Amino acid sequence: MTTVSPVREAEAPAVPARQKRRLPPKVLIGRIGIHVMLLALAVIYIFPFVVSVASSLKTNAEATQQPLRLIPETLTFAAYERLFTDVPLMKWTFNSALVTICVTLGRVFLGSLAGYALSRLQWRGRAFIFAGIIAVMAVPSVVLLIPRFLILYQLGIYDSYIGMIVPIIVDATTIFIMKNFFESIPESVEEAARIDGAGVFRTFWSVVLPMARPALITVFILSFQGSWNEFAHFIVSRQDPDLHTLTTGVATLVSGQLGSGNQYPIQLAAAVLMTIPVAILFFIFQRHIMSTAEGAEKG
Amino acid sequence: MTSLARPRSRGLRGNEGPFGWLFTLPAILILGTFLVIPILLAVWVSFSNWNGLGPPVGGQAEFVGAANYAEVLTQPGLARRDFGIAIRNNLYYVLFVVPIQTAVALFLAVQVNQKVLKARGFFRTAFYFPSVTSSVAITVVFLYLFGASGVVNGVLNWLRVRGPNWFADPRGVFHIVLSWLGVDSVPSFLAGEGPLGVTWWEWIAGPSVAMTALIALAVFTTSGTFMLLFLAGLQAIGQDIEEAALVDGAGPVRKFFSITLPMLKPTLFTVLTLGLIATWQVFDQIYLTGGGAPAKTTLTPAFLAYSASFESLKWGRGAAISFILFGIIVVLTIFQRWLLRDREGSRRNRRRRARMAQAGAMAAITTGGGHGTGGGAGE
């Protein structure tokens, strides 16, 4: 993940000389047209989120009858209040946070360890293990739902935090990304550390890992987003209501009793709240995310 | 252990063998316990009559041969019919989502890559943001948008069109079109039974109205991720070639089809493959919109495997459906590889593709983790 380069041409100021040159009307109209069209598309992409926030602040009746009104006639926080009183939202949030923290830390650490061993250490069996991990990556996750339940059940860790966290704490894609990045770090760096007498783990931890910051950020973002948004695994690894995460909990708002009738505001309020952490993550690391794909192609 | 280590680095590096195993041990143990062994366990269950009571291995479950596979593939009955309907639904989902999301993503990427565009950062953010949200949140939003008196129908109302009750409408889109053309009853030549116990008339129904809403959802949430992949591809092409084309007098449309698109082939390949894999795994959205409702027209094999196991307690059948789905995904991916194979097979392309794989892996998670697929390792 050679993503060190920042986004290069983000809003570069137009060269003044160019501005002075007057564009032919046909080109000018074309450019305005592009902007108008993209703006319209952007509105379509953003509108669902704006509507969700707006309607979460309406009464049930108004949300149903006036879905398009962006400023509620009667502004109410009733939906949000109900989320904290009628529904164990805090419990769900706690579970989601716990799972997300464990899975994210685990994936980043264990993925880096394995990625390092697979790229920089010389040992017999390396090629074999790497091939195995690539094969594992190819298994579609949805095919694993029933097998995962079976093993959790057989091991007696169904309906436990362990069963919710451990199966997804290692992820082949993370290992793959870390391995690729470590390969781009020059060998001389390690050798210098070794000459200074640092052991294998020490070299990894204090010399190589800090240099892998861009890849670590990528893996952190992917792990956080993946585990916070995870749904299917928590459907098959638990049924205890006390172990609901935000995703499975909010799902009960849709399909359970609160799903009946027109209780849109409470559902939308929950959707809005559960989106906030990933939205914050997205805006913090926006430049990194946007340049990751670019860096990957440039190599 | 170290006999194969390169002699040059041996002295300085010492014996790294134990560390290699030590560092990979947690990953090997966890992937082995929660991925490899479970699959073997599920293979056994798919050939057994385990009903969920007692342990799957060493309990009362008996070997029943390929009976579970036969039930969904060859034996006439409800199980086979449900499977056929699920395959049909998913097939239409794939046929609509993959081309549309690819085209939209490519279109957006070309647009936001233009040097003359102002506020490119804003546009990229706007188009990408839906990709980071969870499938649960976005499905809740879409259930509201496509409600009977929802936002979409409100907009249609302005245009003097009466919108359907999207998520409650099981009518097939192609059936609706046929009824406009005057075909109201089943034509006799389509009344016969087709593959998997589903009549030809049902096979050609098209996606149901409810399914079209889910198709829109998929395009909405994945086009941003794939836009980033295309953007990466576009920037690798560079401006030089593009400008050369302009000098040669090629118009923008001609330039796109004769220069940009052929050079984007590796990216296109990645996007199509990831799209195909993800769309065959759609689960979360189906679960949230009522498990195949209305009238099983949004039922998919992934959800059918789940409901056969967890709801009907036919674990063997559920596991069998999972493996058939796995087979479908593998076969289609191989077929697509063959179809889009690089006839020149140049080295450069292969290297590019290797680099793309890594961006693809990222996209696989962001599209899979949130939408279109479920599970940690997936999309």
Chain A residue numbers touching B288 (CB-CB < 8 A) = 251, 254-255
- Residues of chain B with pLDDT > 90: what percent? 56
Residue A7 covered by a domain: no
Residue A72 sits in the same domain as residue A214: no
CB contact at 8 A, A286 and B124: no
For residue B361, give its domain range: 70-172+207-370
Report the pLDDT averaged over residues B346-370. Answer: 52
Residue A2 covered by a domain: no
Q: Any idea what the CATH number is for the domain that residue B140 is in?
A: 1.10.3720.10
pLDDT at B14 (0 to 100) = 67
pLDDT at B108 (0 to 100) = 94
pLDDT at A228 (0 to 100) = 96
Dist. CA B257–CA B270, nearest whole Å = 19
Residue A298 covered by a domain: no
Give the pLDDT confidence of B266-282 residue by residue, as tens digits: 889 889 999 999 999 99
| Other CB atoms within 10 Å distance of the CB of residue B200 | 15
**Measured at the alpha carbon of residue B357, what is the angle toward residues B353 and B360, in degrees to the nearest 5?**
125
Residue A170 sits in the same domain as residue A236: yes
pLDDT at B356 over 90: no
Nearest-neighbour CA in chain B from A94: distance (Å): 17
pLDDT at B367 over 60: no
Residue B148 covered by a domain: yes
Q: How confident is the model at residue B371 (pLDDT cuts 50, 70, 90)?
A: very low
pLDDT at B88 (0 to 100) = 96
Residue A30 sits in the same domain as residue A126: no
pLDDT at B349 (0 to 100) = 54
Q: Any idea what the CATH number is for the domain that residue A120 is in?
A: 1.10.3720.10
Residue A75 sits in the same domain as residue A196: no
For residue A117, give its domain range: 87-255
Residue A120 sits in the same domain as residue A246: yes
Cβ separation A110–B124 shorter than 8 A: no
Residue A76 sits in the same domain as residue A92: no
Residue A106 covered by a domain: yes
Cβ separation A229–B288 shorter than 8 A: no
pLDDT at A14 (0 to 100) = 47
Residue A31 covered by a domain: yes
pLDDT at A5 (0 to 100) = 42
Indicate the residue among A81, A96, A127 that finishes a domain: A81
Residue A95 sits in the same domain as residue A237: yes
pTM for the model stands at 0.88
Residue A216 sits in the same domain as residue A112: yes
Cβ separation A194–B352 shorter than 8 A: no
Residue A214 sits in the same domain as residue A179: yes
pLDDT tens digits in sequence order for chain A, 299 residues long: 334 444 444 444 444 444 556 778 888 888 888 899 999 999 999 999 999 999 999 998 899 888 888 889 889 999 999 999 989 999 999 999 999 999 999 999 999 999 999 998 888 889 999 999 988 888 888 899 999 999 999 899 999 999 999 999 999 989 999 999 999 888 888 888 888 888 889 999 999 999 999 999 999 999 999 999 999 999 999 999 999 999 999 999 987 666 666 789 999 999 999 999 999 999 998 888 877 554 443 33
Dist. CA A226–CA B186, nearest whole Å = 46
Residue A262 covered by a domain: no
Residue B202 covered by a domain: no
Nearest to B56 among A148, A150, A225 (CB): A150
Residue A125 sits in the same domain as residue A175: yes
Indicate the residue among A81, A97, A115 that finishes a domain: A81
Question: How many domains is chain A partitioned into structurally?
Answer: 2
Indicate the residue among A81, A99, A115 that finishes a domain: A81
Chain A residue numbers touching B56 (CB-CB < 8 A) = 150, 153-154
pLDDT at B247 over 90: no
Residue A263 covered by a domain: no
pLDDT at B236 (0 to 100) = 80
Cα dihedral B189→B190→B196→B197 (10° resolution): -90
Residue B57 covered by a domain: no
Dist. CA A166–CA A164, nearest whole Å = 6
Residue B222 covered by a domain: yes
Nearest-neighbour CA in chain A from B197: distance (Å): 24
Residue A94 sits in the same domain as residue A203: yes
Question: How many domains is chain B partitioned into structurally?
Answer: 1
Mean pLDDT score of chain B, rounded to an integer?
84
Residue A33 sits in the same domain as residue A117: no
Residue A240 covered by a domain: yes
Nearest to B231 among A63, A204, A293 (CB): A293
Nearest-neighbour CA in chain B from A48: distance (Å): 7
